[in-house]
Amino acid sequence: MFSREKAEYRAIELPDRMEYSDQKSIDNSAAFYARMKCRHSVREFSSRAVPLEVIAKCVKTAGTAPSGANHQPWHFVAVSNPQLKHRIREAAEEEEQAFYDGGGGDEWLKALEPIGTGVDKPHLDDAPWLIVVFAQRWGYFDDGTRFKNYYVPESVGIATGILITALHHAGLTALTHTPNPMKFLNELLKRPSAEKPTMIIAVGHPSDSATVPEVAKIKKPLTEILSVVE
């Protein structure tokens, strides 16, 4: 919680400094790419449990993300309760049914065909954890006064990306799901109106029979995603 009285600028010495040779930087970036290239989104999860400590450490890592005015406008709800996961699944599938019945539009539905998605979301039951990401549109000072958060979508997007990376680094599989609308998550998880749910992330270990869409392995080459101006 921020203190209105202590909102002032103070510079401190850079606490963590990494100074690598150019070659070490090249080697590290290549090694990290090789690790992240092994990240896959699967819809079939095993029943193997995942310790809460792993989830908590990954969320703590997400909390290191940069954010507008350092307001850190995010909240993560980790759910392992089977009954609550099932209620989330039922509500999500209700929204998905409306989407696939025409709410998404023909072009969007056509684009999803190679991915193989549909109304049924058994992974919301099967994954040992669901992490629901909330974006905080405003916050409160310690005296109860409300303040505005800035660059909320950008900040939460960065934190979510770091979370998914941390989960992969921990040896877990993470599947993102964005039913629309998602207001039911505020009610089910008892989150305040200041928070907007942005994503459900199913987390766990892939089942022995897990598959991925072939098209998911097709990534744009570097020449299409990078322009260099020197």
Is the model's pLDDT at 3 over the cut of 80?
no
Average pLDDT of the chain is: 94
Is the model's pLDDT at 6 over the cut of 80?
no
The model's confidence at residue 144, banded by pLDDT at 50, 70 and 90, is confident
Q: What is the DSSP string of the chain?
A: -B-STT--------S------HHHHHHHHHHHHHHHTT----S-B-S----HHHHHHHHHHHTTS--GGG---EEEEEE--HHHHHHHHHHHHHHHHHIIIIIT-HHHHHHHGGGT--S--THHHHSSEEEEEEEESEEEBTTS-EEE--SHHHHHHHHHHHHHHHHHHTT-EEEEE--SS-THHHHHHT--TTEEEEEEEEEEPBPTT----GGGG----HHHH-----
Range of the domain at 190: 42-225
* The predicted structure's pLDDT at residue 8: 80
The model's confidence at residue 4, banded by pLDDT at 50, 70 and 90, is low
> Is residue 12, in this structure, part of any structural domain at all?
no
The model's confidence at residue 143, banded by pLDDT at 50, 70 and 90, is confident
Q: How far apart are CA 117 and CA 111, in angstroms?
A: 10
> Is residue 152, in this structure, part of any structural domain at all?
yes
Report how many domains make up the chain.
Answer: 1
* The predicted structure's pLDDT at residue 142: 80
Is the model's pLDDT at 2 over the cut of 80?
no
| Stretch 181-205: mean pLDDT | 96
> Is residue 14, in this structure, part of any structural domain at all?
no
CATH of the domain at 83: 3.40.109.10
| Stretch 114-139: mean pLDDT | 94
| Stretch 46-68: mean pLDDT | 97
> Is residue 190, in this structure, part of any structural domain at all?
yes
> Is residue 11, in this structure, part of any structural domain at all?
no
